[in-house]
Chains A and B, each alone.
Chain A
């Protein structure tokens, strides 16, 4: 019996490139029968980076983690992780990685301390250091008081924290976190975020698979977006927004005659989209229908492609007799980028 997972059939990643990436894939792919789980994945993650992997359920995030950690063979392409071939050197690689799986993965019938001690031994933490290291991670994840209680009695959030403690017990160089904040309350989720950031500060590299776009925006240096197993975008959130032309949101506050349809005025301005008169919705001063000439405060929400579109919109309003007294601009965030990508790819499909 072989102890390695089936080797990827095609060419390996070029060996010489400086500095060496922690993760580097070349046309990496995996199929399950006719289903394509991951296709032609080109991914490069540098040491100390936190890279977010975003995508819907079934986009290929978990399969990618399994491929990169050498527990699932590739159907095509190649990869090097921490300088190792994940399929040929899987055991050596997994000594240096930690994987927080989607489910907590610590047996309900063990105590928290027993579960962590078990994994510490498997991961080769020096025997003399196991107890100390287990105590450390229990403390870090605020589980010291429950350390000797059965995991079956833990709340979901405690189990999730225990799973993360398990992932860190051997101080891995590379962390794969698969939906780590699922089931965590906001306080625990923020504590986890802080922990992830401190890991980066200590030199660890993190691949974070998540649906949580706010978390990804806050933590990740770069993100990659997967759809149907294919990488559809990669870069920083602002790079992605620029690349996509993802719209910037703008709120305009103005005064205008009640009879003036300010929203309609802007609908044909180049680079302006999604104009919405938010006056009534936001409790503004709605114009009484019987007095169209009365000047009222108005609030407009719109999306613009660039700064020139904002100027054009303001000019159009002023020329029509409105007085613009506030322009609030909000840059596209990861959520905008993500949904813009999804719309674009949905339209393409």
Chain B
């Protein structure tokens, strides 16, 4: 394995990503919304608890499993609302961060390179197909995990600080969130990468790759809807299972990507 070449490819791709506004803007804005705006809004939710529809949250809590209701028992009504939102409802949204970062960077690294007509020169270098794919995967995976973990830390600080007037205690992160950040977030990033690599080999532009690859966010949307509808409840155990599922899916997709990535076929497709 030519690690030096792989490092060079990864470093170049990161440098290129950093200089692209089209790529960097979503990488900055989306995590900021997730880790700053959402916890701030949720922390002030008790202020708006009397608005029409707010009482639905109480009804929602009543539909939750008894174990979950027991977890909320120590809290008063306002605190329950904060915990429900910051700890449970926003958990699937947090996973959008690693998935989006991984997908955007991978789309730029594969399809973007095609679009900029720099791919052929790279294919003519003394790198194997495996080395090329792994270098490009690393370019997406490492920043995705770093951003996700940074977002986790910032989210924890902002949530505890903003909700302090209501909570009066440090309530975050919970065990479920530790599992979410340490196990599921990297798995989701790997899943997003695997999907984007497969898509990128078959499209010509960054936008196409990003848009088609964006379909990988569907499982996260289903989780959000499932929680809001009271169908799914993200317990620590379920989150761990979800993490394992994402890792398995990621392994399948990346394995498929490694098996199907052929420089000759890329050139033949043009």
Contact = CB atoms under 8 A, between A and B. Distances in A.
Interface of A: 1-3, 5-6, 32, 66, 69, 71-73, 90-95, 97, 99, 101, 103-110, 114, 118-119, 121-124, 127, 163, 166
A44 to B, nearest CB: 22
Interface centre among A71, A163, A166 (most CB of B within 10 A): A71
Contacts of A1: 129-130, 258-259, 261
A66 B265 CA distance: 12
A104 B117 CA distance: 8
Contacts of A109: 15-16, 19-20
The range of chain B's interface size is: 35 or more
A71 B4 CA distance: 21
What 8 A-B pairs come out closest when comparing CB atoms? A105-B121, A3-B128, A121-B8, A94-B126, A95-B126, A99-B124, A109-B19, A103-B117
Interface centre among A2, A93, A127 (most CB of B within 10 A): A2
Given A3-B128, A107-B16, A107-B118, A72 B5 contact: no
A106 B119 CA distance: 9
B54 interface: no
A127 B121 CA distance: 21
B268 A122 contact: no
Interface centre among B7, B8, B120, B124 (most CB of A within 10 A): B124
Contacts of A106: 118, 121
B4 A121 contact: yes
B126 A91 contact: yes
B202 interface: no
A93 to B, nearest CB: 8
A66 B117 CA distance: 15
Nearest to B258: A1
Given A73-B264, A101-B120, A124 B8 contact: no
A186 B124 CA distance: 28
B9 interface: yes
Nearest to B257: A1
Given A6-B264, A99-B124, A101-B120, A118 B12 contact: yes
A99 B16 contact: no
Contact of B130 (A3, A122, A124): A3
Given A3-B131, A121-B8, A122-B8, 4 more contacts: A71-B264, A72-B268, A92-B126, A110-B12
A2 B121 CA distance: 20
A114 B259 CA distance: 31
A99 B5 CA distance: 17
A110 B129 contact: no
Contacts of B261: 1
B158 to A, nearest CB: 33
A68 to B, nearest CB: 11
B33 interface: no
B125 interface: yes
A122 B125 contact: yes
Interface string B107-122: 0000000001110111
B63 interface: no
Interface in B239-270: 258-259, 261-264, 267-268
B4 A124 contact: yes
A37 to B, nearest CB: 9
30 contacts: A1-B258, A2-B129, A3-B129, A5-B263, A5-B264, A66-B264, A72-B263, A72-B268, A73-B264, A90-B128, A94-B127, A95-B126, A99-B121, A99-B124, A101-B121, A103-B118, A103-B120, A106-B121, A108-B116, A109-B19, A109-B20, A114-B12, A114-B15, A118-B8, A118-B12, A122-B5, A122-B127, A123-B125, A123-B126, A163-B121
Contacts of B19: 109
B114 to A, nearest CB: 11
Contacts of A73: 264
A73 B267 CA distance: 10
B121 A166 contact: yes
Nearest to B12: A118
B123 interface: yes
A110 B264 contact: no
Given A1-B259, A72-B264, A124 B124 contact: no
A21 B193 CA distance: 44
Contacts of A127: 4
Contact of A122 (B126, B258, B262, B264): B126
A66 B121 CA distance: 11
B118 A105 contact: yes
B128 to A, nearest CB: 3
B123 A71 contact: yes
A72 to B, nearest CB: 4
B258 A121 contact: no
A73 B265 CA distance: 9
B266 to A, nearest CB: 9
Interface in B3-45: 4-5, 7-9, 11-12, 15-16, 19-20
Contacts of A103: 117-118, 120
